[in-house]
Amino acid sequence: MGQSSSSQSPPAGPMNRHSSSSSSLREILDATCESCIDYTSAIPDDCLALVFQFLDSGDLNRCSLVSKRWLLVEGQSRHRLTLNAQSEIISVIPSMFSRFDSVTRLSLRCDRTSFSIDDYGLILISLRCRNLTRLKLRGCREITDIGMTAIGKNCKQLKKFSCGSCTFGAKGMNALLDHCSSLEELSVKRLRGVNDGGAPEAIGPGAAAISLRSILLKELYNSQLFEPLISCAKKLKTLKLLRCLGDWDELLQTIAVSNHSLAEVHLERLQVSDIGLSALSSCLNLEILHVLKTPDCSNTGVIEVVRNCTFLRKLHIDGWKTNRIGNEALIAIANHSTNLQELVLIGINPSSTSLEAIAMNCKKLERLALCGSETIADSEISCIASKCVALKKLCIKGCPISDEGIEAFVWGCPNLVKIKVKKCRNVTGEVGDWLRSKRGSLVVNMDVCAVKVENVDATTSVSGAREDPVTVNLGPLATSSSGRGSVFKTRFGLFGARGFATSTFRRWSIGNSSSNGNS
């Protein structure tokens, strides 16, 4: 009898008590969930999708786990994706873009040590993302002309295309330009495929020439192949030629004759002389000009431009300490560029006379950078402090100024909101603290520890305003700090790193572009 009772009622040990409590907890949770009210069920899908647009990638991923409805709405509300475009993702492309079926902005990035998606993967994407308006390819070395042709034929609504460190060639680029008649922005960096042997194929103009407004070419060997596209893009507003081989004087002359709508031109480390620079003086609507490390340009070219292009708002000049651009050009800037808002002078040795002329005549000057100059001392800085009434942001690097010059900003430049001082040997930290105490609202950034004056580079930014796309990462996206390949370093050995003045004014320009209307 006792054994029967014992078999029916096992002893209440710790394991049994745990099992009993877990069962009770599940019953309580089930009962609670049944009685819960889903207050979001009354929110329309469109409103829920609008809420999701304010969340970052991590929060969106967590929202997709809430319910099947949230998973569906979250997938349909994503318009931007950044994918780690290694070859392993090819198998999941169909299911991925079945969920994210509203993507209009896509970025495919692959690190240098991995195999990227190939033509087959890009064809799959082009078939499922026919509404793409923006596409970025970075390090996708397995994509050839075949994949680019599919993008051109299937994604005809593209407005912005950017590629870097890819290996497709001129045929693929032409296929894109021939079919994407709405293309407005084109950015091509380190495109290796156009360097293949044989007779080079010219690029453009294609159907895109009627709509293109911005072209950026960077670190290209055969960049002259893009000449038909550039010269036929009649609506072109922005042209950036950065570290590209070849003689550019003839092309700039052609552009000046055929296109008078150019508003922004960047020339960096190019084989261009006063002939090409002077040709830009025909572009009367020019507002932004960067002339950076072009040793064949002199006062003559700069003077010709500023005399005719009176709408200049931003002017960056890196004289590379060649002394070919100096006081004559600066005085011409002072006399003719009365609308100037931003001025960056690097590797130029101005006199007090030319700086005073700029301070007196450029009444709208809000942002000023003076870097790597041997003649800008305390008296010149004091002149700026007393004359530049509209100045809001000032950057000084590698100039022989002292605390006395910085003290002038206690009373000068009443609208100044930020000052940066770098690598000035005779400026101490005490003057920075004193300046903060006297002008509490002024942001003072001083680097007084390092005394070695570095070479100042003025590498320009390509991207413009920063984007924070939603990221879907299907694997570790490795990063590399090894720099360019050895062959590229050999052929482009004079190319340096990004510099202080440019990164500073890129951030300042982004902050002010919304107020100015143009960037």
Q: Write the CATH number for 50.
A: 1.20.1280
How far is CA 256 from each of CA 198, 281, 302, 316, 345, rounded to the nearest angstrom? 32, 8, 15, 20, 25
Same domain, 232 and 137: yes
Q: Which pLDDT does position 230 carry in this prediction?
A: 94
The answer to whether residue 127 sits within a structural domain is yes
Residue bearing tokens 């004359």: 387
Q: Is 51 in the same domain as 125?
A: no
Q: In a 10 Å sphere around its CB, with 0-12 CB exposed, 13-18 middle and 19+ buried, how is residue 201 labelled?
A: middle
Q: Are residues 212 and 238 in the same domain?
A: yes
In sequence order, what DSSP letters do the residues of 39-84 get, joined into one string? GGGGS-HHHHHHHHTTS-HHHHHHHTTT-HHHHHHHHHH--EEEEE
In a domain, 354, yes or no: no
Q: Are residues 55 and 183 in the same domain?
A: no
d(CA 245, CA 440): 49
C-alpha of 504 from chain center: 13
Together in a domain, 58 and 86: no
- φ, ψ of residue 503 to 5 degrees: the values are -65, -35
| 216 and 87 within one domain | yes
Q: Give the torsion sign (CA, 321, 325, 331, 337).
A: negative
Number of domains observed in the structure of the chain: 2
What are 348's two structure tokens? Answer: 């130029």
Residue 100: the pLDDT is: 87
Is 495's pLDDT higher than 80?
no
Tens of pLDDT, residue by residue over 323-381, are 999 999 999 999 999 999 999 999 999 999 999 999 999 999 999 999 999 999 999 99
Closest to 409 in 3D by CA, of 428, 423, 425, 389: 389
pLDDT > 80? residue 479: no
Question: Quick one: 118 and 234 in the same domain?
Answer: yes
451 assigned to some structural domain? no
Q: Can you point out the beta strands (E) in 193-275? A: 214-218, 238-242, 264-268
Find the helix or strand (DSSP H, E) in which 368 lies: strand 367-371
Average pLDDT value for the chain: 83
Final residue before a domain boundary, out of 50, 78, 106: 78
What average pLDDT score do residues 152-172 get?
96
Asked whether residue 224 is assigned to any structural domain, the reply reads yes
User: In this structure, are residues 225 and 203 in contact, taking their beta carbons and an 8 Å threshold?
Assistant: yes
More confident of the two residues 200 and 99: 99
Q: Does the CA dihedral 297-302-305-311 come out positive or negative?
A: positive
Q: pLDDT tens, 96-141?
A: 998 888 899 999 999 999 999 999 999 999 999 999 999 999 999 9
Overall average pLDDT of the 198-211 stretch: 87
How far apart CA 344 and CA 363 sit, in angstroms, is 16
- Above pLDDT 90, what percent of the chain? 64
**Structure tokens, 215:** 């072209």
Distance CA 16, CA 415 (A): 76
The answer to whether residue 138 sits within a structural domain is yes
CA separation for the pair 133, 153 (Å, rounded): 14
The answer to whether position 72 is within a domain reads yes
463 falls within a domain: no
Whether residue 67 is found in the same domain as residue 133: no
Q: To the nearest whole percent, how much of the chain has pLDDT over 70?
A: 77
Q: Which of 216, 246, 276 is the last residue of a domain?
A: 246
Tell me what pLDDT residue 144 has: 96
As a whole number of angstroms, the distance between CA 309 and CA 285 comes to 7
68 lies in the same domain as 211 = no
Helices (H), 415-485: 429-438
In whole angstroms, give the CA distance from residue 453 to residue 442: 25
- The mean-pLDDT minimum among 379-383, 401-405, 459-463, 511-515 falls in 459-463
- 95 shares its domain with 138: yes
111 shares its domain with 237? yes
pLDDT tens for residues 230-259? 999 989 999 999 999 989 999 999 988 877
The parent domain of residue 232 ranges over: 80-195+202-246
Confidence label for 485 from pLDDT (cuts 50, 70 and 90): very low
Alpha helices, DSSP H only, in 265-326?
A: 274-279, 299-308
Q: Which amino acid is at 498?
A: R
With respect to residue 15, please indicate whether it lies within any of the assigned structural domains: no
pLDDT of 484 over the 80 cut: no
Place of tokens 């509300």: 77
What is the residue whose two structure tokens read 């497709």? 168
DSSP states along 325-390:
S-HHHHHHHHHH-TT--EEEEES----HHHHHHHHHH-TT--EEEEES-SS--HHHHHHHHHH-TT
Query: Which tokens is 519 given?
Result: 């960037």
> Do 47 and 176 share a domain, yes or no?
no
Q: What is the CATH number of the domain that holds 191?
A: 3.80.10.10
